[in-house]
Amino acid sequence: MSLHKIFSGLGINDYLSFIGVLLIIYVTHYYYKYFTRVNPLPGPLPFPFVGNLPQFILYKANAREFFDAYQKKYGDLYEVHLGARRIILSRAEDIDKLLMPSTK
Length of the chain: 104
Judge if 35 and 48 occupy the same domain.
no
How many independent structural domains does the chain possess? Answer: 2
One digit per residue, the tens of pLDDT, for the chain of length 104 reads 677 777 777 888 989 999 999 999 999 999 999 999 888 889 999 999 999 999 888 888 788 888 888 889 998 889 999 888 888 888 767 667 767 776 55
User: Residue 103 to residues 63, 74, 97, 100: CA-CA distances in angstroms?
Assistant: 20, 31, 11, 9
Closest C-alpha among 95, 88, 91, 94 to residue 43: 88
Domain residue limits at 77: 43-104
Average predicted confidence (pLDDT) for the chain: 85
- Cα angle, residue 102 at apex, residues 88 and 43 outer, rounded to 5°: 15
Judge if 36 and 49 occupy the same domain.
no
- Under a CB-based contact definition with an 8 Å cutoff, are residues 48 and 26 in contact? yes
- Under a CB-based contact definition with an 8 Å cutoff, are residues 37 and 49 in contact? no
- Cα angle, residue 37 at apex, residues 33 and 42 outer, rounded to 5°: 115
